[in-house]
Structure formats: C-alpha cells, structure tokens
Structure 1
Amino acid sequence: MPIDHRVCWNNTVHIGSLMGTRMESLSDIAVFVQVVQCGSFTAAADKLVMSKSVVSKYVTRLEDRLGARLLNRTTRRLSLTEVGQALFERSRRALLEIEEAEAEVSRLQGEPRGALRLNCPMSFGVLHVAPWLPEFQVRYPEVSLDLVLDDRRVNLVEEGFDLAIRIGELPDSSLVVRRLGPCRHVVCATPEYLARHGVPQTPQQLTKHLALTYRYQDSPNEWRFIAPDGELLQIPMVSRLQMNNSLALRQAVLRGAGIILTPTFMVGADLRKGRLKAVLPEYQVLEVSIYALYPQRKHLSPKVRAFIGFLAERIQDPPYWETEP
C-alpha cells in the first residue's frame, strides 16, 4: 500500500524520553511511525534529528524483532505491507495517547489543580484549617479538597493522602517535613475555678488541682515545665477527667471542671476575652511545632505546594491565635 506523502503528521515524537533497554521496542515503533508519517527515511531523519542510517537501523531492528517486513522499500518510494499497515494504525493511536498524557502532566504541573486529600488532627482542623478552606478555594478554584479529620496517625502512602498536618514530635520516616509554626502550651482555668481552688504559684501546687488531660498528648499525666533558673520540672498529675478530643476538653474547662495544660491554638480567644486565665506565666511549658508532611517525591505537585504555602502564610510565627486582638 503506497504512503500518501501529503499526510505528514506534525507531531514530534520525543525519542529521547523513550530510550533505554526496556523501552527499546517502543522507541523502534516511534521511529517507524515517524517514517510512515513523513513518507521517507530522509524526512523522518530530519524530523527526529537523526542520521538516515540510524533511522533505518531502528526500523530494521523492529522488523527483525517481529519477524515480519513492515515496509516495501524502493529507490523512489516506500509502501506499507499489510502487517505494517496494521502496526502503524495501532501504534500511531498509542503514541498520540502518550503525547496527550505528557501534555496533561505538564498542564497539571503548571498551576494548582486536581483533588487534594488532606489529613489533619481533629481540633486543629476544626479551628484552624476548615475555616480557611473557602478562601483557599477562591484563590485556587481548580483544586478540590478532601479534608479528613482524625487524631490517629494515618499512613499517608497506604491511605492515599497528599498531605498531613501533624503536631508534636515526629518519628523518623521517609516523609518530607516542613515546619508551619510553633505550638505553645499554657496552663489555664476559668477565673471562677481559680477563685474557688486558688491560683497555683508553683508547678508543684498543680497536684492539688483537678486536672483535665488529653489522652493522645505525650505523657498526659506528667506536665513538664522549665523553671526560671532553667531547671526541668516534671510534675505527676492525677487526671480528674481524660478525653480523646481537645474540643470536648475545652468545653469542660470552660464549665469550670478543672485546670488544663493545652495548646494555645485551642484557647487563644478564650484567654484574650477573659473566659480563661493563664497561670504560672514565669514557668515555660515545653514547646512543640506544627508540621506539614507529604510523601517523598522528586517533583512536588503545585496543589500540595500551594496548600502548604497557604497554611504557612496564615499561621506565621507567632501564630495569629496568640496575637489577634
């Protein structure tokens, strides 16, 4: 079957990206398709920036591998054999699919778009992530968000998360970590509770108070402080009420149930408005950090990069929940 020289497809096959031992067959096919589309070995060689002899070598190697002649060669023209025509039609469609896939990847890498699956601790997510999502979506309308609130430490790779927010000490892992800001803690209670039970003057006096504790906090029954002279104090606490949700604990302390050691992101507004009162200000509570974690990837997707930057811009250091009036 003769080749129509008027049909010379204007699609450049990126042969370099198809090279390699495993891709040898595919690169041979790509050269074969280019020869057919351009109508000659010479035109295909110019298109692919190769020598004519190298182009001929690719096609010959493909014919040898398949054990079939694909092209009838004469000094004046090329024509496809029956099996060559069948291979050309299917291979051309496959190569077009590859080009479209590459174009789609380039498009996705150009601007934030696509689905972003995010894991976040329950209380921090409710108070300081979910409220900002509408603004993020206005800024990046092509990104769809799936926020999963869970105090459990999920496996990002196995459970299909693009990004996770974690607070506290991090175990060694292959995940990439970026610090978003500090997570400071404060000991506080309602003014009414302190009026009834007294204001502790030293960390040791906390043992006489009704302690409310968060179950997933590191060492919930041991509160740690750094004294003004730098001494580390470890105070054993007997919990009056323990919960696995910080939002519920906040409600309990606001009702006067006891005294609590909690992150400032939980009670910043309550402290500013006088609903809660901080105690022991001269004793420093150990500080941890808020992190963004994502799987190790050579090329970070724009949607993940955009969301991390958005959160870092919102949180800052010191964080807004400690500084807003």
Structure 2
Amino acid sequence: MKLPDFEAWAVFAAVVEHRSFSGAADALAVSKATVSKAITRLESRLGTTLFHRTSRRLTLTDSGRSLAENAQRILSEGQAAEEAAFESASAPAGLVRVAAPLTFGIRHLAPILSDFMVLHPAIKVDLRLSDAFIDIVGEGIDIALRIAELPDSSLRARRLGPVTTHIVGAPEYFDRAGRPRHPADLAHHACFVYTNTATPELWRFRKAGGEEAAVRVDGPIRTDSGDAMIPALCKGLGVARLPEFLIGDELRSGKLEAVLEDWSVSAAALHLLTPPGTLRPARVEALINYLDQHLRKVCPSIRDSTLMAS
C-alpha cells in the first residue's frame, strides 16, 4: 500500500490558509519552490487541479474547495499528535485563531480571553471580530463563536446556551405607530432589517403553546450591524429585532421598549465551532475548554450589563 503524501497535504492546507504560495512558504519556513512542487505532486497524485493560478490571483477550484477541509484536518491532527507527545514536558504554546461577532466579542469574549492569556502566557491569540460569515476552514480559524440557528454542516459545534432576542423600538415610536399585539402587525411597521441572516426580511415567532407566526418586514434601514441600528431606534424611526446583549442598557434606561414579549423571536443560541476532526493542538484544546466553562456563564447572565467572567 502506498502511503498518502502527508507533507503535500499539509502544504496544501497552508496555501489555503495563507492564500498564496509565498505566504505558505514563509509560514512553513521553506522555499516557494518547495511549496509549488508539493502542490504539483499532490495534484498529480489526485488527478485534479487544486488551484486556479494567475499572475495576480490564486483561487481554489471546485475540487480544491472540497478537499481543503480534509487537508486542514490532516494538518491539525498531525500537529495535535506531535503536541500531545510533548504536552507533559511543556505548557501549551503557539497561536490560536479565534473568530466572533463584533459586539459580543468586545463586550463578552475579550475579558475572558485576557484572563486566559494570563494563565497561559505562551499562547498567542489572533482575534477576528466581524458580524460577517467566516469560512472557518478556508480562513484557518481554530475556534469560532456564532450566535445563530446553525444549519447542518461538517463543523463540530457545542451549544453553550440560549441568547434572548427582543422586538424593540422607542416608546415614542410605539405611541405614534401603535404597539403590535401580534407578529402579523409588524408588516405595517417600519422594521429595520439585519442582513447577516439567510432570510433577513422574514421574522419567525413561536408561542409557548406551540402557535407559530411568520411575517415579512420592511423599513428604512438595512444593515449588517445591529449596533448601527440603535441610534435610529432611540430616535423613534422604527422597530428592530436585536439580541439583549446589544440593547440591554437601552431597555433598562427606558430608551427602548420591548414588545410581543409573549412570543419567542428566535431559537438563536451561542455556539462554539471548530473545524472537523477529533484531534486538536493542546493550545486550541486549552482555550476551547476555558471558553466552554466561562461562556456558559455568560448566556444566563446576558441580561446583565456587565460580564462576570470568574
């Protein structure tokens, strides 16, 4: 039996992560020619082209895209196996790439990460905060936090807890436009649309007794940032569907008012996602366990304005 070309698979994963042969060569401390030869060798062995190459751009082919996940798993599990062998002799060390939603990352994740890094000074964190969808495998992300209803995928997911969402507007807006008594009433309101969902204009609701409702909404603002909606909401320009960790202060101060509270707005939850595979480097495993422990405390207390990270 001919063994797989593990080196070529690892090089392929590095090229996907760094999006260039040069970047992969620098990361692996080898020559660009070595990287190019490894990719050519793997393509020849697999009988398929992995990249579209031009003078200005390197992009994955359909075959390359489908195999990138396998390459990342091979590289990650190889690193994890080596690190496990040395784990008893040294503390976890190295870089962990973490992705999280912008506001949640600033308000809730950053304090936890700082505490973790005090405990593990040899671990470095590359923290990427964005509300946009991130390709975890393609971007080389070790850990991603997502607040959503997750579709089926090959990613490994841990549900850490529910995230409460409200329908909110300024009291003066509701005094002027009326307070909705049923989700269907929202079709006649100025609803701000958050675009980082699969169906931004379709809001779904469920009552404790099992009754369900769905309404198509429209309004003066469409944005991929929940934070950007808050000033217009407070000025009485409309209604939005937002998680409580974004608008908790405004609810407590009375600047915003929640309506339709007898309806559940969504089944969104905080999830911790990792690439496929069962083996992970010790540094990644250490951070996963730490976040699992501390972020589970965040979800029940997310109604509070401050995070108790200890």
TM-score band by shorter chain is 0.5 to 0.7
How far the C-alpha of 1:191 sits from its partner, in A, is 2.2
> Taking structure 1 as reference, are residues 204 and 21 closer, same or farther at Cα in structure 2, changes over 3 Å only?
closer
Counterpart of 1:203? Answer: 183
- The residue that corresponds to 1:214 in the other structure is 194
Cα distance in 1 for residues equivalent to 2:144 and 2:268: 17
Q: What is the match of residue 149 of structure 2?
A: 169
Residue pair 2:83, 2:281 contacting (<8 A) in 1 also: no
Is 2:276 the counterpart of 1:296?
yes
Q: Is the 8 A contact 1:214 1:243 kept in 2?
A: yes
Bigger shift: residues 148-157 or 311-320: 311-320
Residue 151 to residue 287, structure 1, CA distance change in 2 (3 Å): same
The 1:296–1:190 alpha-carbon spacing in structure 2 relative to 1, beyond 3 Å, is: same
Aligned to 2:136: 156
1:84-233 counterparts in 2 under 5 A? 106-107=86-87, 111-227=91-207, 229-233=209-213
Cα separation, 1, equivalents of 2:180 and 2:189 = 9
Deviation of 1:242 after TM superposition, in Å, equals: 0.7
- What secondary structure sits across from 2:255 in the alignment? coil
When the two structures are superposed, what TM-score results if normalisation uses the length of structure 2? 0.64
Moved segments of 4+, more than 4 Å: 101-105
The structure with the largest alpha-carbon Rg is 1
Q: Matched residue of 2:237: which SS?
A: coil
* Structure 1 residue 185: Cα displacement: 1.4
How many residues align? The count is 228
* Equivalent position SS for 1:196: helix
**What SS does structure 2 have at the residue aligned with 1:245?**
coil
Question: Which blocks of at least 5 consecutive residues in structure 2 are unaligned?
Answer: 4-80
Number of the residue aligned with 1:26: none
The partner residue of 1:321 within 289, 302, 308 is 302
Could you report, residue by residue, the CA deviation over 1:7-27 in whole angstroms, capped at 9, with x for unpaired residues? Answer: xxxxxxxxxxxxx997xxxxx
Higher relative contact order (CA 8 A, sep 6+): 2
Three-state SS of the structure 1 residue aligned to 2:229 is: helix
Is the CA contact (8 Å cut-off) linking 1:181 and 1:312 kept in structure 2? Answer: no
Residue identity matched to 1:314: H
Greater Cα shift, 250-259 or 230-239 = 250-259
Instruction: Call closer, same or farther: CA 1:316–1:258 in 2, change over 3 Å.
Output: same
Residues 160 and 187 of structure 1: is their aligned pair in 2 closer, same or farther, counting only changes over 3 Å?
same
For 1:162 and 1:139, how far apart are their aligned partners in 2?
Answer: 19
Q: Contact 1:112 / 1:302 at 8 angstroms: preserved in 2?
A: yes
| Alpha-carbon distance change, 219 to 158 in structure 1, aligned in 2, over 3 angstroms | closer
* Inter-partner Cα distance in structure 2 for 1:166 and 1:228: 25
Matched, 1:285 2:265: yes
The unaligned stretches of length 5 or more in structure 1 are: 1-19, 23-100
Of stretches 308-317 and 234-243 in structure 1, the one that deviates more from structure 2 is: 308-317
Q: Secondary structure at the residue paired with 1:159? A: coil
Quickly say closer, same or farther: Cα 1:222–1:132, change in 2 above 3 A. Answer: same
One-letter identity of the residue aligned with 1:182 = P
Which position in structure 1 is the counterpart of 2:58?
none
Q: Per the alignment, in what secondary structure is the counterpart of residue 87 of structure 2?
A: helix
Equivalent residues in 2 for 1:261-276 (5 A)?
261-276=241-256
Shift in alpha-carbon separation, 1:213–1:142, aligned structure 2, 3 A: same
> Is the 1:123–1:245 contact (alpha carbons within 8 Å) kept by the matching residues of 2?
no
In percent, how many aligned pairs have the same letter? 33
Residue pair 1:113, 1:143 contacting (<8 A) in 2 also? yes
Q: Deviations over 1:118-148 (max 9, x none)?
A: 1122332233223433222222222111111
Q: CA deviation at 1:212?
A: 0.8
Q: Kindly provide the amino acid, as one letter, of the partner of residue 235 in structure 2.
A: R
CA distance in 2, matches of 1:207, 1:109: 63
TM-score (norm 1): 0.62
Is the CA contact (8 Å cut-off) linking 1:314 and 1:320 kept in structure 2?
no
Q: Distance in 1 between matches of 2:271 and 2:89?
A: 24
